[in-house]
Amino acid sequence: MKLRFFTFLYCLLKCSLLQGQTIAGDLADPSIIKVDSVYYATGTSSEWAPYFPIYKSSNLKDWQQTGYVFDKAPAWTVGSFWAPEYYKIGNTYYIYYTARRKSDNRSYIGVATSPYPDHGFTDHGVIIEHGKEAIDAFIFNDGGQLYITFKAYGLDDRPIELLGAKLSADGLKTEGEFFSILKDTSRAGMEGQSILKMNNYYYLFYSAGNCCGQGCSYSVNVGRSASFKGPYQLFDGNPILSENDTWKCMGHGTFVDNKYYLHHAYNKKSTVFTGREGLLAELIYQEYTGWPLLKTITHNNKADLNDPFDGRKLANYWQWDFRHSTPSYQLQKGMLRLSGKQTKDNPTGIVLTVRPTSDNFDISTSVVNRNKALKGLTIYGDVNAAIGIGVEGDSVKVWKMEKKQRVIIKAALVPPSDIGLKISMSPNRTCNFFYQAGNATWTELASGVETGSLPQWDRSPRLGLHYSGNEKDKAEFSFFRLENK
């Protein structure tokens, strides 16, 4: 009878993954820390700048973005800004992060410190350089001895291993040899580890399977050991967190308060278009079995966005593709002026973007100046994966990137007035494009434009403003609005 009851309870907890996300939009590999009564979270930013967004909350439900770990990329890095991990030593806050090294294009682990949890981080360079790739840092204090753990051998023809090493008291260098914590003998995939100590056992939580894209297979497994270094016995009931009717590919999280697990997952409806969103689960420890379970906590933070550009600086949620452009912008009297430099391999232009939180929305703006540059709205996946609508001279144009060239889908002449622009996406992932001259009604210019080629393997497309033209010219926008339907 007890076994039947446990089986029922296990299924109930494992399957009761509810609807809402905690931090909506693309925020993979999240990490969380509590400072007094305030929680701070950060996550992967991939190829978007600024780097590693930071959020704060007083209740784990309502989150506000406060800034970024880095406004400028560390000198040693070139891209792939993944898996930042919070830690605190004394009065100093640490971020252990993964990035691709400029000199050899390999991903390794760096570390940055700050006296504050949400700004002012100073980079200290690479702390883990091992093999072809070392990613996904996690820090653990075992009775006063600090350890750093990470994923190794992900690019080698051999099983992946979770490795560990002693960490110096100041958290800035490793000490001694690396040691193996757990080996992926089944070659299913293993990464995104975090460790808790409960009731004389060390519990190793890790993500098994493939992290990203339409073919992802992530889930959370757990093992335990009487020693931090192992060996770890895996739970017969794995996975303890896996897909349900709403979410799939749960994984790569960290704990706070020894109870709440902030992790990511894809919404089954919007999938790669909204990316890996931040979810919260509660740890349930079963005294009867000695094993933990995870139960997802429901929230729903799919907020609309309206930016009237009336502040003194650009709002924190705006990001750009740092590999292909350097935007310049100015806010003045309710106007955003956008221009900048783009690389020679960038035929698309400059974008300022926000993260989508659904696949059913309208975005809109108003272009208030005229010149030879193309300026307007875009849905942007990468430099050669974008669509948009913009004003160029006396015309409004719907465009898409195809084979590294901009293809005009439809165009129309417009009068010399402010031009409103709107892109409307439907749940079938096709877009309709509209324009509005002055106070006239909306006119549909193109419909049914496909977006399937926009999402990238490790990040969702972004929505926002677009400029393509001479660096000395500019676009002028009077607002940007995102309305989820």
Query: In DSSP terms, which residues pair with 150 in a beta bridge?
Result: 163
Q: Taking 90 as the threshold, does the pLDDT of residue 7 lie above it?
A: no
The yes-or-no verdict on residue 275 having pLDDT over 70 is yes
DSSP 433-468: EEEEETTSPPEEEEEEEE-TT--BTTB--EEEEEEE
Q: What is the pLDDT of residues 380-389, one digit of tens each?
A: 999 999 999 9
Q: What is the rounded average pLDDT of the residues 109-129?
A: 99
What distance in Å separates the CA atoms of residue 326 and residue 337, rounded to the nearest whole number?
14
**Cα–Cα distance measured from residue 254 to residue 31, given in angstroms and rounded to the nearest whole number:** 5
Cα–Cα nearest to 474, from 393, 398, 402, 369: 369
pLDDT at 10 (0 to 100): 43
* DSSP-assigned letters across all residues of 112-168: EEESSSSS--EEEEEEE--TTBEEEEEEEEETTEEEEEEEE-TTSSS--EEEEEEE-
Q: Which amino acid is at 89?
A: I
Dihedral angle sign, alpha carbons of residues 312, 322, 270, 33: negative
Taking the alpha carbons at both ends of the chain, their separation in whole angstroms is 48
pLDDT per residue over 170-192, tens digit each? 999 999 999 999 999 999 999 99
pLDDT of residue 231: 98
Domains of the chain are: 2-297 (2.115.10.20), 305-484 (2.60.120.200)
pLDDT at 302: 75
| Alpha carbon 224 to chain centroid, angstroms | 29
